[in-house]
């Protein structure tokens, strides 16, 4: 397995930074862009998401690049704000001339950036879950490695019923997946004879006491959180202070390490989380661990590792570095009967004989609208402030 | 409608906490005649200074609150001297826009020092009390008491101390105050220090019950601004009253509005006041 050479990584990053933008645009190198949340609520994930991409590119450059050219990465920050993300995406497309934008995180941001991508024939690979995203008229320029929200909520709703929920509740902020989440849970509750209440609150408040009072009036025994880490931290504290004794489940990106560090363990005891499970036993996952120098890779950095690998392999397979080439070839290198490869470098070596890229986040097979298929989910339960695996489905 | 007493209690508590930074904001307006939006980041800085004192040094809540006041006051004063004072002669709008730029710079300095992660104060968490069906938390009661003590201190200082009287004099009529030998620059500096200290303490009080991150203060800028406008920009009792109106209004709005539109209450309050009583509920006299 290929190990990242630190010197090559540093020199690749330093060379990218040191070259003036104008020169870079003319130098003939292949450009790809990262657009991750370096700041804002997604700021916990964005830096390592970007570093995973830089790591893949450094490995490929060290092995000689693709199409006889080196690859350069332009990195921008979404600030977890659609407005800032659109400005950054414009810069990546118009100034840097990237042919792919990788790593958009929040659904609202992917939705905002998407039209810029397909209009400029730039490939957009995201980790966002809102099911509306792949229904956009994107002509194939979007694919995602994150299971869509319908699938995520269905899996979690079935879990709630299996764990004995009789009165379910969903509480979360206004997001592109809030309404569909509520609909799905209502269907699951109705099919299983359970009750269901929901409440959409405003993100970015310092207290949700009144909202908690309102949702607890329905006497739920299993609550699903629909927000991100910042508001879920406030909410969980308020729910605990209100004396709620029932069960709670939240997405792992909300009930994350930061939240668990912030809240006393009494508040988080027994909470369930779920997420798309990275392929922890794969060589690709080990490669990301080596790139990032960590023991456990978050699901999003695993996904952006795959974004970079898929983009590079699709360019090499198509013999061209345009966004359109990535769009046309991404499925031919990621699914089918070819040899299974788990890194861009291995894939480039085996490309001639046909490959099936299988990544750190899972098998990386996409359907016709760009949704990922075949994702595994892992449920965890929090005990003493630490998550431990409870169940896989 | 059995929710009303609970909503009122929640509203009074959040209103009292909001009043502290709103007083700071309006005091700066009273003396320096411009809306200083850098209060957003100074509330964050206060919250983080209190956090550093509480978690880093192991201090209990009240000394940490003093640290929040001092650090936010000093940072507020230094940043005002560097970034805002040189621009004030060019008009209130220039200074206001510069203060927005300043708040972004300060926010990112916090981010640089502490990172993006959420942080929580090291305070014992206890379940709420239920008194006649109304839920109230011990931490809330303590925060309310601290807010009331701080407000009482501010009012007493303005009413009885020499420097408080000088501040009111400058706010009332800067030219006349200068004729009487009051140095407006000195009073301006003192006002900024105390006001930003209040904003910092308020930021920490607002953060005590939740968790803090570099955007903590930014989340409160709309309600703070709404409280000051509703009460009458420049009026310190007005800011306290305005904070109560906004705090209680936001909670009671849950009876008729989806919680997703809570922030609309601040906007609605601003619009109503500007339409029907542009000088605010208490007018603009500083005291």
* ipTM for the whole complex: 0.83
The answer to whether residues A264 and A292 belong to one domain is no
Shared domain for A17 and A92, answered yes or no, is: yes
- Residue A373 contacts B, CB cutoff 8 Å: no
Q: What pLDDT does residue A20 have?
A: 47
- The verdict on A382 and A245 lying in the same domain is yes
Residue A26, pLDDT > 60, answer no
Stretch A224-233: mean pLDDT: 92
DSSP A360: S
Same domain, A283 and A134: yes
Same domain (yes/no): A286, A271: no
Is the pLDDT at A31 greater than 90? The verdict is: yes
Residues A117 and A241 grouped into a single domain: no
Does residue A382 share a domain with residue A239? yes
**Residue A187 located in a structural domain:** yes
Mean pLDDT of B56-73: 95
Closest CA to B28 of B247, B236, B269: B236
Rounded to the nearest angstrom, the minimum Cα separation between B125 and chain A is: 7
**CA-based nearest residue to A302, from A321, A277, A325:** A277
Read off the pLDDT band of A10 (50, 70, 90).
Answer: low
Cβ–Cβ under 8 Å, residues A252 and A275: yes
- Over range A45-63, report the average pLDDT: 96
pLDDT higher at A206 or A391: A391
Indicate whether B137 pLDDT > 80: yes
Pairwise CA distance, residues A172 & A152, whole Å: 15
On whether residue A91 sits in a domain, the answer given is yes
Statement to judge: residues A270 and A292 lie in one domain: no
Q: What is the pLDDT of residues A150-162, one digit of tens each?
A: 889 999 999 999 9
Residue B263: pLDDT band with limits 50, 70, 90: confident
Tell the residue number behind the tokens 């497309």, with chain if given: A93
CA angle B28, B30, B35 (to 5 degrees): 55
- Dist. CA B228–CA B268, nearest whole Å: 14
Helix (H, G, I), strand (E, B) or coil at B210: coil
- Find the domain containing A339 and state its range: 6-148+279-373
Note whether A342 and A382 are same-domain residues. Answer: no
Interface contacts A/B by beta carbons within 8 Å? 105
Mean predicted confidence (pLDDT) in A84-93: 96
Looking up tokens 């792992």, which residue turns up?
A252
Mean pLDDT, rounded, for B27-34: 93
Cα B24 to Cα B193: distance, rounded to the nearest angstrom = 9
Q: What angle do CA B143, B144, B148 make, to 5 degrees?
A: 115
**Number of separate domains in chain A:** 2
Chain A residues with CB under 8 Å of B130 CB are 243
Within 8 A of B207 by CB-CB distance, chain A residues are 206
Residues A101 and A11 in one domain: yes
Residue A195 belongs to some domain of the structure = yes
DSSP assignment letter at B234: T
CATH assignment of the domain containing A86: 3.40.50.2300
In a domain, A1, yes or no: no
Q: CA of B89, closest CA in chain A: separation in Å?
A: 32
The SS3 of residue A296 is: coil
Inform me whether the C-beta atom of residue A40 falls under 8 Å from chain B C-beta atoms. yes
| Contact check, Cβ <8 Å, A202/B260 | yes
In this predicted structure, the answer to whether residue B1 has a pLDDT above a threshold of 70 is no
Q: B142 at the A interface (CB within 8 A)?
A: no
In a domain, A289, yes or no: yes
Indicate whether A166 belongs to any domain. yes
Residues A19 and A134 in one domain: yes
Report the residue from B14, B118, B130 with minimal CB separation from A262: B118
DSSP state of B193: H
Handedness of CA B105, B110, B111, B116 (dihedral sign): negative
CB contact under 8 A, A233 and B210: yes
Is the pLDDT at A327 greater than 70, yes or no?
yes
Asked if residue A362 is part of any domain, the answer here is: yes
A202 to chain B: nearest residue by CA?
B260
**B219 lies within 8 A of chain A by CB:** yes
Provide the pLDDT for residue B99.
96
Separation of alpha carbons B43 and B216, rounded Å: 8
CA A235, A240, A245, A249 torsion-angle sign: positive
| One domain, residues A205 and A66 | no
Give the helix/strand (H/E) hosting B30: helix B4-32
Residue A13 lies in a domain: yes
């Amino acid at each position: 397995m290929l190990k990242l050479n630190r010197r090559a990584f540093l020199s690749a990053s330093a060379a990218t930074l040191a070259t003036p933008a104008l020169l870079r645009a003319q130098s003939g190198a292949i450009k790809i862009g990262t657009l991750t949340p370096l700041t804002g609520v997604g700021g916990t994930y964005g830096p390592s998401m970007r570093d995973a991409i830089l790591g893949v590119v450094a490995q490929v450059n060290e092995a000689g690049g693709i199409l006889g050219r080196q690859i350069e990465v332009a990195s921008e920050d979404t600030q977890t704000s659609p407005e800032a993300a659109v400005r950054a995406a414009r810069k990546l497309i118009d100034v840097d001339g990237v042919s792919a934008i990788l790593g958009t995180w929040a659904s609202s941001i992917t939705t905002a950036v998407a039209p810029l991508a397909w209009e400029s024939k730039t490939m957009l690979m995201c980790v966002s879950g809102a099911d509306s995203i792949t229904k956009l008229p994107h002509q194939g320029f979007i694919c995602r490695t994150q299971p869509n929200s319908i699938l995520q909520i269905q899996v979690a709703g079935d879990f709630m019923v299996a764990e004995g929920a009789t009165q379910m509740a969903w509480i979360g902020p206004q997001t592109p997946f809030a309404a569909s989440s509520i609909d799905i849970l209502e269907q699951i509750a109705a099919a299983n004879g359970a009750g269901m209440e929901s409440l959409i609150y405003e993100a970015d408040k310092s207290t949700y006491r009144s909202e908690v009072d309102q949702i607890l009036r329905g006497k739920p025994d299993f609550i699903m959180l629909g927000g991100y880490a910042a508001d879920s931290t406030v909410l969980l504290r308020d729910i605990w202070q209100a004396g709620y004794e029932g069960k709670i489940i939240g997405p792992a990106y909300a009930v994350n390490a930061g939240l668990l560090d912030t809240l006393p363990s009494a508040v988080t005891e027994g909470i369930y989380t779920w997420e798309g499970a990275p392929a922890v036993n794969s060589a690709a996952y080990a490669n990301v661990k080596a790139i990032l120098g960590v023991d456990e890779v978050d699901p999003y950095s695993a996904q952006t590792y795959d974004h970079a690998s898929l983009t590079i392999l699709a360019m090499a397979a198509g013999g061209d570095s345009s966004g359109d080439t990535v769009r046309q070839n991404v499925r031919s290198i990621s699914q089918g009967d070819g040899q299974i490869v788990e890194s861009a470098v291995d894939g480039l070596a085996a490309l001639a004989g046909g490959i099936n890229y299988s990544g750190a986040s899972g098998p990386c097979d996409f359907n016709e609208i760009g949704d990922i298929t075949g994702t595994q989910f892992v449920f965890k339960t929090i005990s003493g402030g630490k998550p431990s695996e409870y169940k896989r489905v | 409608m059995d929710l009303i007493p609970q909503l009122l209690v929640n509203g009074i508590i959040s209103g009292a906490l909001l009043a502290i930074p709103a007083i700071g904001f309006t005091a700066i307006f009273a003396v320096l005649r411009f809306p200083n939006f850098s209060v957003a980041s100074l509330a964050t800085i206060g919250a983080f200074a209190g956090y550093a004192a509480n978690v880093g040094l192991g201090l209990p809540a009240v000394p940490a609150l003093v640290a929040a006041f001092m650090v936010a006051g000093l940072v507020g004063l230094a940043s005002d001297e560097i970034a805002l004072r040189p621009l004030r002669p060019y008009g209130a709008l220039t200074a206001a826009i510069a203060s927005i730029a300043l708040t972004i710079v300060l926010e990112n300095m916090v981010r640089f020092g502490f990172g993006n992660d959420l942080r929580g104060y090291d305070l014992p968490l206890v379940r709420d009390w239920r008194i006649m069906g109304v839920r109230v938390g011990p931490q809330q009661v303590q925060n309310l008491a601290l807010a009331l003590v701080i407000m009482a201190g501010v009012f007493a200082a303005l009413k009885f101390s020499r420097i408080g009287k000088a501040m009111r004099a400058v706010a009332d009529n800067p030219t006349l105050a200068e004729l009487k030998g009051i140095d407006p620059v000195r009073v301006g500096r003192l006002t900024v220090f105390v006001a930003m200290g209040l904003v910092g303490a308020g930021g920490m009080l607002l953060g005590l019950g939740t968790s803090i991150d570099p955007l903590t203060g930014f989340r409160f800028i709309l309600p703070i601004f709404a409280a000051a406008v509703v009460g009458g920009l420049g009026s310190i009792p007005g800011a306290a009253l305005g904070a109560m109106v906004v705090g209680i209004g936001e909670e009671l709005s849950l009876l008729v509005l989806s919680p997703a539109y809570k922030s609309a209450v601040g906007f609605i309050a601003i619009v109503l006041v500007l339409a029907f009583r542009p000088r605010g509920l208490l007018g603009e006299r500083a005291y």
